[in-house]
A = this chain, B = another copy of it.
């Protein structure tokens, strides 16, 4: 497997020259665009290649975790009622809004508005506590107790996140957010700034692939009802408005982030983390997707 991973990275490496680094916050634009790494975790072990240990921020990859924690804290009905599950046909940070109303059915957990709204559904007396519980979940699922926020990215997000502020005030204006907007956004900005490696993503992915179990310890970390919820939403909306293409060419639930990471979930088989920071115009890692396409073809990973 390690050999296969190396082979795939090699054959896809030229794609790291395509696309552009995220530039909406300066920190994301500073990274080395040549970094390219992958980690696959299966019941047989952990397999790694390239810059698998390079750190990057989760960005939107944290959205499935926000959804998961909201489900664990409030249950399926509450979450489903707060945020819909249909693809919007629009970019991840678009207003999906018509006739002067923003309704839960217009948003889903994988676009910014949906994820921001779900931050309010996490339990916690304070927003500080809500965030710490989210970080704890990330630590538990990845098995990495050292996960932490990249403070520079966090402050940048906070300083420049005016579009997210607009989205959040819109949610507030339409009653989908009740608390102070800056408090809610603080959780969201910090969540996006959690630093991970491909191994962390692969391990989180494996839990989602294993009906919520840590297959190595056999501990049930999350209800299988919730991993099914998350995997379904990842399949239909996880790769932004490139989700259809990804379903066709890779065929597994997955989530990308503008930090350059992708987490993929191969039900019953494996979790995958991949990293290459240059993005296509939809915000997905160019080389990352190419490598996943190859991996899927080589190992017949598609669920379709």
A81-108 CB mask vs B (1 if < 8 Å, else 0) is: 0001111111101111111100000001
Chain A residues numbered 207-242 whose CB sits less than 8 Å from any CB in chain B: 227-229, 231-233, 235-237, 241-242
Which residues of B have CB within 8 Å of A99?
98-99
**Contact across chains for A232 and B253 when beta carbons are under 8 A apart:** no
Choice from B100, B168, B244 contacting A93 with Cβ under 8 Å:
B100
Shortest C-beta distance, A244 to chain B (Å), equals 4
Which residues of B have CB within 8 Å of A94?
100
Known A89-B88, A166-B166; contact A304-B244, beta-carbon cutoff 8 A:
no
Q: How far is the CA of A302 from the CA of B173 in the complex (A)?
A: 37
**Contact across chains for A236 and B87 when beta carbons are under 8 A apart:** yes
A232-270 CB mask vs B (1 if < 8 Å, else 0) is: 110111000111110110010100000000000001000
State how many copies of this chain the complex holds.
Answer: 4
Whether a CB of chain B sits under 8 angstroms from the CB of A23 is no
Q: How far is the CA of A137 from the CA of B97 in the complex (A)?
A: 37
Q: How far is the CA of A173 from the CA of B169 in the complex (A)?
A: 13
Closest B residue to A85 by CB, please name it. B244
Known A235-B304, A303-B267; contact A241-B86, beta-carbon cutoff 8 A:
yes
**Contact across chains for A91 and B85 when beta carbons are under 8 A apart:** no
Q: How far is the CA of A254 from the CA of B84 in the complex (A)?
A: 20
Whether a CB of chain B sits under 8 angstroms from the CB of A170 is yes
Which residues of B have CB within 8 Å of A95?
95, 97
Shortest C-beta distance, A209 to chain B (Å), equals 10
Choice from B87, B232, B303 contacting A248 with Cβ under 8 Å:
B232
Known A98-B98, A162-B169, A162-B173; contact A87-B235, beta-carbon cutoff 8 A:
no
**Contact across chains for A304 and B84 when beta carbons are under 8 A apart:** no
Chain A residues numbered 159-179 whose CB sits less than 8 Å from any CB in chain B: 162-163, 165-170, 172-173
Choice from B167, B227, B303 contacting A303 with Cβ under 8 Å:
B303
Chain A residues numbered 64-92 whose CB sits less than 8 Å from any CB in chain B: 80, 84-91
**Contact across chains for A244 and B251 when beta carbons are under 8 A apart:** no
Choice from B86, B98, B172, B244 contacting A244 with Cβ under 8 Å:
B86
Choice from B86, B162, B302 contacting A228 with Cβ under 8 Å:
B302
- 22 A-B contact pairs sorted by A residue (CB < 8 Å): A85-B245, A85-B247, A85-B248, A86-B244, A87-B88, A87-B244, A93-B100, A98-B99, A162-B169, A162-B173, A166-B167, A166-B172, A229-B248, A232-B244, A232-B248, A232-B251, A232-B302, A233-B247, A235-B304, A236-B243, A267-B304, A303-B303
Known: A91-B100, A95-B95, A233-B244. 10 other contacts (CB 8 A): A86-B243, A87-B236, A93-B100, A108-B244, A166-B167, A166-B169, A229-B248, A232-B244, A232-B302, A237-B244
